[in-house]
Amino acid sequence: MDKIIINDLRIFAYHGVNVEEKIHGQNYDIDITAEVDLSAACRSDDLDDTVSYSRIIKRASYAFTAEKYDLIEKAAQEIADTLLSDFEKIKAVEVTVRKPDAPIRADFGYVAVFIRRERHA
């Protein structure tokens, strides 16, 4: 299956179990891979035959910031649900949400969750 890939989308949001995270917020880095049949777009060179990555970014950003969640698992699910709902051409979506500044007393690059969701027939 062909894929539309968006890497390192940086979004500021207010997710977290700690009250401070919901008050002060922090940056999150998000990767989105949408499985889409791109064969028609490859032939036609027409935006209507694909899914606009600009629209994917706008909808994912909205879904991620519309509410404050305790868990980044829930925030990732909201992105997946929104993209599958809004774009019929997307057959499956993978979402990785990285939290590089998680309030954990340890030396680490980031913590993250990865989910994959598929359209059900």
- Any idea where the domains of the chain sit in the sequence? 3-118
**121 residues of the chain, pLDDT tens digit each:** 999 999 999 999 999 999 999 999 999 999 999 999 999 999 999 999 999 999 999 999 999 999 999 999 999 999 999 999 999 999 999 999 999 988 888 988 999 999 999 998 6
Catalytic site residues? 99
Question: How many helices (DSSP H) and strands (DSSP E) are in the chain?
Answer: 4, 4
Beta-bridge mates of residue 110: none
Using N-to-C axis directions, what is the helix angle for 72-86 and 53-65, rounded to 10°? 140
Label residue 91 left, alpha or beta by phi (over 0 means left) and psi (-120 to 50 means alpha): alpha
Closest by CA to 114, choosing from 29, 24, 27, is 29
Candidates 1.10.1660.10, 3.40.50.2300, 3.30.1130.10, 3.30.70.260; CATH matching 3-118:
3.30.1130.10
